[in-house]
Structure 1
Amino acid sequence: MNLNFDFTEKRVIITAFFCMAFTIANLITVKVINIGFLGMETPAGVLIYPLVYILTNVIADVYGEKIAQRTIILGLCVDILFVFMTTLILFLPSPAYYTGDSSLAFVFTQTPRILVASYISYLIGNFVNARITAKVNEGKEYSSTKNLGILAFSELIDNFVFIGLAFVGVFAVTDILIMIVSHWILSLIWSAIAQPFTKMTVKWAEKGKPAEA
Structure 2
Amino acid sequence: MYNELIGIGTFFVTFILMLVLYRIFGKTGLFVWVAIGTIIANIQVIKTVELFSVSATLGNVMFASIYLATDILNDIYGRKQAKKAVWLGFSSVIVMVILLQCSLAFIPAQDDVSQQALETIFNIVPRIALGSIIAYIIGQHLDVLLFTLIKKKFSSDKTFYIRAYGSTVVSSIVDTAIFVLIAFYGNLPNSVVFEIFITTYFLKLLTTISNVPFGYIAKSMYRKGKIAE
TM over 0.5: yes
In 2: Cα distance, 1:148 partner to 1:53 partner:
10
> Counterpart in 2 of 1:46?
60
2:78 corresponds to:
64
Identity of aligned residues (%): 20
Q: TM-score, normalised by structure 1?
A: 0.87
CA contact under 8 A between 2:176 and 2:197: conserved in structure 1? Answer: yes
Q: How many residues align?
A: 202
Match of 2:213 among 179, 193, 196: 196
Partner of 1:41, secondary structure, is strand
Counterpart for residue 31 of structure 2: 15
Match of 2:119 among 105, 124, 131: 105
Q: In structure 1, what residue type is equivalent to 2:217?
A: M
Cross-structure match for 1:164: 181
Give RMSD over aligned pairs.
2.1
Write out the 4+ residue segments of structure 1 that deviate beyond 3 Å after TM superposition: 205-208
Structure 2 unaligned segments of length 5 or more: list them: 1-20
Q: Aligned residue for 1:211?
A: none
2:207 and 2:22 mapped to 1: Cα distance? 29
Which residue of 105, 108, 115 corresponds with 2:129?
Answer: 115
Mark the CA change 1:66 to 1:85 in structure 2 (over 3 Å): closer, same or farther.
Answer: same
Equivalence for 1:25: 41
**8 Å Cα contact 2:146-2:167 kept in structure 1:** yes
- Distance (whole Å) between structure 2 residues aligned to residue 20 and residue 87 of structure 1: 18
Give the match's secondary structure for 1:143: helix
Provide the residue aligned with 2:147 in structure 1: 133
- Between the aligned partners of 2:222 and 2:182, the Cα distance in structure 1 is 36
Q: TM-score, normalised by structure 2?
A: 0.81
Partner of 1:147: 164
1:146 Cα shift? 3.9
Structure with greater proportional helix content: 2
